[in-house]
Amino acid sequence: MNTSKEDSLRVNGATLFYRVRGSGPLVLIFPGGDGDADTADALSNELIDRYTIITYDRRGMSRSKVDAPGDSLTLETHSHDAHRLLAPLTNAPAFVFGSSIGALIGLDLVARHPRQVATLVAHEPPAFELLPDEERNLATRMQEGAEEAFRREGIQAGFKRLVELAAVDYNDREPDMVLPPPTSQRSANLSFFLSNDAPAVRRYRLDLTALHESTTRIIPAVGQSAAGSAPHKAAEALAAELGGKAAVFPGGHTGWLLRPKGFAAKLKEVFDG
Res 68: pLDDT: 87
pLDDT greater than 60 at residue 139: yes
pLDDT band at 182 (very low <50, low <70, confident <90, very high): confident
- Residue 55 and residue 45: Cα distance in Å, rounded? 12
- Residue 233 and residue 126: Cα distance in Å, rounded? 9
CATH superfamily to which 3-272 belongs: Alpha/Beta hydrolase fold, catalytic domain (3.40.50.1820)
Mean pLDDT of 182-189: 89
Res 98: pLDDT: 98
The answer to whether 133 and 139 are in contact (CB under 8 A) is: no
Sequence spans of domains, the chain = 3-272
pLDDT band at 4 (very low <50, low <70, confident <90, very high): confident
Nearest CA to 105 out of 204, 250, 235 is that of 204
Mean pLDDT of 99-126: 98
pLDDT tens digits, one per residue of 20-51: 999 999 999 999 999 999 999 999 999 999 99
pLDDT band at 178 (very low <50, low <70, confident <90, very high): confident
Residue type, 42: A
pLDDT tens digits, one per residue of 205-260: 999 999 999 999 999 999 999 899 999 999 999 999 999 999 999 999 999 999 99
pLDDT greater than 60 at residue 1: no
Mean pLDDT of 97-121: 98
Burial 195-228 (b: 16+ CB within 10 A, else e): bbbbbbbeebebbbeebeebebbbbbbbbbbbee
Q: What is the mean pLDDT of the chain?
A: 96
Looking at 167-247, list the stretches that DSSP marks H as alpha helix, in order from N- to C-terminal side: 184-192, 198-203, 208-213, 230-241
Could you count the other beta carbons within 10 Å of the beta carbon of residue 18? Answer: 20
Tell how strand 3-11 and strand 94-99 pair up: unpaired
